[in-house]
Structure 1
Amino acid sequence: MKLLEYLSQLNTWSIIVRLLLAVICGGIIGIERGRRRQAAGFRTHILVCMGSALVMLTNIFIVMEYSPGQDPTRIAAQVVSGIGFLGVGTIIITGNKQIKGLTTAAGLWASACMGLAIGAGYYLPAIAACGLIFLVMTVLNNVDKWAYQHSKVMELYIEFQDIQYVSGFLSEIRIREMRSSNLELTKSKVPGETTISALMTLYLPRRMEHSHVLSLLSEIEGINFIEEM
């Protein structure tokens, strides 16, 4: 308890411990993102977490030294909103309108909040948050994938050889007792090409493995490419 009381004060050793803890906690989250080849990985998460901790420490120091009685979170509050520019940089929209990077952006924001807690000397909640964030990004990622793969709704991106094959495709899925909605067709802009791109929502009659559904649909005549978004 005496050690925790000592580290809760702003002194040389508590500053070192807080910055090192921010490096460790940020690194734990960053390793998971780096493993998945995300733009914001190991080093980015460390810098975000450590930088947030440093901002909080600086804010506390300024209040203690120059403005006793003032709000010690004034500067730190800007980190929570300011981290948005990094988050936006990790979110991309692919050519078939698929959004990627939201989890990484959320992880960066959570790392910044974790760093602020560490910088304020709020050790136990920060460490607990680190464990929970890592749990969400690893274990719950598999749960999310399983639920997604067994959903009765699929968002599809399809490339047809020609517009004439679209009606045939819709007839085939009706035969298989599937329903479609939100169909968007886009013609290729390359001169001489007749390729048609389609975005659609597919409703399955029962829970099926999505990979099996894609395999079945890819065999329909006129399809060049099909994937789940």
Structure 2
Amino acid sequence: MNEYEVVLRLILAVVIGGAVGYEREFKNRPAGFRTNILVCLGAAVISMIQLYEVESTKNLILQHPEFTNIFKADIGRLDAQVVSGVGFLGAGTILHEKGSVKGLTTAATLWVVACIGLAVGLGYYYLSVLSTVAVVVSLVSLKRFETKFLIKKDLIKIEIEYVNRIEMSNSIIEYFDSKNIIMKNIEFALEDAEDLDEDCMKGFYTILVPKKVTANEIINDLGKKNGIIKVILV
């Protein structure tokens, strides 16, 4: 592998990592432009190191045929370490916040960029370019499709104060079911019990709301029910 090939592969790794990382940077994700470039570049360097190892081993065997059974070059060893090692970097971008998991796409992007970097380093230019186009299209175009056609749920928390505890509690649950709202957690404010009437109850509901249902709609619908005193977004 000559100097021209090394320069070409390093430049291509920077361009490919930057192309994928730009979309992540635009979305203000933890692993953005520079991170993806470095991952792709590092994977390309590891691939070229492997090629140098193979070439060096081959030259030594040609010079000393009697050492054929001694020298060994495992062409997949370093690549396998890159693929598994990037998983730790991707894990650092996955966050657990308010009952939801964020960063999975960014972690997957880092893993894919590393794989493409390996392809660049090994000289598979056609595969590298086509896979980069596929990744960018998936991140940009399919995101719009996902936003428009797939149902997503937002996590919100509302405070509801009501009377007729058991009856109204069942009514609230029935309303959530009718709107395809998922209850994640219910908390009752026992410390405020002395300030409430004997038949009153104050509950905090953490719910997953479908995209087509708004928080204002939930508050207005519940506020119209007889027995509900107050409904507010926490």
Report if TM-score (shorter chain) is over 0.5: yes
User: What aligned pairs does 1:7-22 form with structure 2 within 5 A after superposition?
Assistant: 10-22=1-13
User: What aligned pairs does 1:59-78 form with structure 2 within 5 A after superposition?
Assistant: 59-66=50-57, 70-78=73-81
State which structure, 1 or 2, has the greater radius of gyration over its C-alpha atoms: 2
What does residue 122 of structure 1 align with? 124
What does residue 217 of structure 1 align with? 218
What does residue 105 of structure 1 align with? 107
Q: CA RMSD in A?
A: 2.9
What does residue 51 of structure 1 align with? 42
CA-to-aligned-CA distance 1:68-124 (integer Å, 9 cap, x gap): 663322111110000011111111011x21111111110000000000000000000
TM-score, normalised by the number of residues in structure 1: 0.77
Query: For the residues of structure 2 that align with 1:166 and 1:48, how far apart are their CA atoms?
Result: 52
What does residue 82 of structure 1 align with? 85
Query: For the residues of structure 2 that align with 1:22 and 1:139, how far apart are their CA atoms?
Result: 23
Give the letter for the 1:225 counterpart.
L
Report if aligned partners of 2:181, 2:207 keep a CA contact under 8 Å in 1. Answer: no
Give the letter for the 2:157 counterpart.
I
Farther off after superposition, 113-122 or 61-70: 61-70
Number of residue pairs matched by the alignment? 203
Q: Percent identity?
A: 29
Query: For the residues of structure 1 that align with 2:140 and 2:189, how far apart are their CA atoms?
Result: 39
TM-score, normalised by the number of residues in structure 2: 0.75
1:43–1:166 Cα change, 3 Å: farther
Query: For the residues of structure 1 that align with 2:111 and 2:85, how far apart are their CA atoms?
Result: 10
Equivalent of 1:198, from 197, 203, 206? 206
What does residue 158 of structure 2 align with? 159
1:136–1:179 Cα change, 3 Å: closer
- Return structure 1 stretches of 4+ with deviation > 6 angstroms: none
Give the letter for the 1:39 counterpart.
P
What secondary structure, in the 3-state scheme, does the structure 2 residue paired with 1:13 have? helix
Query: For the residues of structure 2 that align with 1:21 and 1:188, how far apart are their CA atoms?
Result: 59
Report if aligned partners of 1:154, 1:201 keep a CA contact under 8 Å in 2. Answer: yes
1:166 Cα deviation (Å)?
5.0
CA-to-aligned-CA distance 1:2-25 (integer Å, 9 cap, x gap): xxxxxxxx1111001001000000
What secondary structure, in the 3-state scheme, does the structure 1 residue paired with 2:54 have? helix
1:158 Cα deviation (Å)?
2.6
1:181 Cα deviation (Å)?
5.3
User: Where does structure 1 lack aligned partners over 5 or more consecutive residues?
Assistant: 1-9, 203-209
Report if aligned partners of 2:156, 2:209 keep a CA contact under 8 Å in 1. Answer: no
